[in-house]
Amino acid sequence: MPRPVIGICTPLEPARWGVWSLDAFLLPRNYVDAVHRAGAMALLLAPDPALVAEPDEILDRIDGLMLAGGADIDPGSYGAAAHPLTIGSVPVRDAFEIALVRRALERDLPVLGICRGMQILNVARGGTLHQHLPEIVGHDEHRRVLGTFEGADHDVGLQPGSLAARAAGEELHATKSHHHQGVDRVGDGLVVTGRASIDELPEAIELPGNAFALGVQWHPEADETSRLIGALVEHVAGRVG
């Protein structure tokens, strides 16, 4: 039987290889490795303005959608002015991912949003973000050192019976964290089903009524013991099998 196909939205970032310095569509390998370990095929989805208008063209070709981490979302996407520490936004990526996730939710296509991807899920439903968490929570525990998960582990309490708890396989889940923004106003229809043990920040959101629509603020792709991506693939395989 063919493997299920998980489409992963791909960041647009400056990159250097050999003598070249150019913008590139880049995705950390651990996202793809996690999908492969779970028994699915990974299809990288580069931002495409044509798909903003017609997202079904690509959604028809995948069995599940994953929204990866990356740069801060353009605050204009949720009607806010930019904070001085909101940097690196790529509006073309934001528009692409928001269009895809809105339509995927309408179709009840399985969706997993990771870190920035959880924030995209929230913004796509009309929610807003805190643009610099240390000013809100009073600490830097969610992103201690730029470019590493070292020392940034913390537990997240997951609501009993929630999709988040079922996917993680437990109600108190150890996570790898690297973010300085987070959910402020929760998007329409979404419910918070996980909160950080250190400050009660929302760290898991889901859309009741959809079979699998989940956003998590942590990075399961960076933890080979995590069940989250495997849970997405298992759900998708059950739908297409």
**Which tens digits make up the pLDDT trace of 170-199?**
999 999 999 999 999 999 999 999 999 999
Are 14 and 23 spatial neighbours (Cβ–Cβ below 8 Å)?
Answer: yes
Q: Coil, helix or strand for 1?
A: coil
Segment holding 91, helix H or strand E: helix 91-107
Q: Which of 154, 179, 180, 219 is catalytic?
A: 219
Q: Which of 115, 141, 154, 179 is catalytic?
A: 115
Segment holding 195, helix H or strand E: strand 191-196
- Selected residue with higher pLDDT from 240 and 82: 82
pLDDT for the residue numbered 216: 98
pLDDT tops 90 at residue 15: yes
Annotation marks residue 224 as catalytic: no
State the distance between the two ends of the chain, measured CA to CA, in whole angstroms. Answer: 8
pLDDT tops 80 at residue 105: yes
Taking phi over 0 as left and psi of -120 to 50 as alpha, with beta for the rest, 92 belongs to: alpha
Measure Cα distances from 13 to 28, 89, 99, 119, 172 in Å.
12, 10, 20, 19, 34
Spatial strand order in the sheet of 191-196: 41-45, 5-9, 64-67, 111-114, 213-216, 202-206, 191-196, 153-158, 172-176
Are 190 and 232 spatial neighbours (Cβ–Cβ below 8 Å)?
Answer: no
pLDDT for the residue numbered 241: 65
CATH topology of domain 5-14+22-240: Rossmann fold (3.40.50)
Are 182 and 194 spatial neighbours (Cβ–Cβ below 8 Å)?
Answer: no
pLDDT for the residue numbered 140: 84
Q: Which of 97, 203, 206, 221 is catalytic?
A: 221
**Which tens digits make up the pLDDT trace of 111-138?**
999 999 999 999 999 999 999 999 989 8
Label residue 1 by pLDDT band (50, 70, 90): confident
Label residue 30 by pLDDT band (50, 70, 90): very high
Q: What average pLDDT does range 33-61 have in this prediction?
A: 98
Annotation marks residue 219 as catalytic: yes
Label residue 94 by pLDDT band (50, 70, 90): very high
Residues 6+ apart with CB under 8 A from 166: 231
Q: How many other C-beta atoms can be found within 10 angstroms of the C-beta atom of residue 39?
A: 13
Residue 75 CA neighbour count, 13 Å, CB half: 15
Label residue 62 by pLDDT band (50, 70, 90): very high
Q: Which two tokens stand for residue 27?
A: 């995705």
pLDDT for the residue numbered 228: 97
pLDDT for the residue numbered 67: 98
pLDDT tops 80 at residue 151: no
As a whole number of angstroms, the distance between CA 89 and CA 81 comes to: 13
As a whole number of angstroms, the distance between CA 66 and CA 81 comes to: 27
Annotation marks residue 9 as catalytic: no
State the average pLDDT for the chain.
95
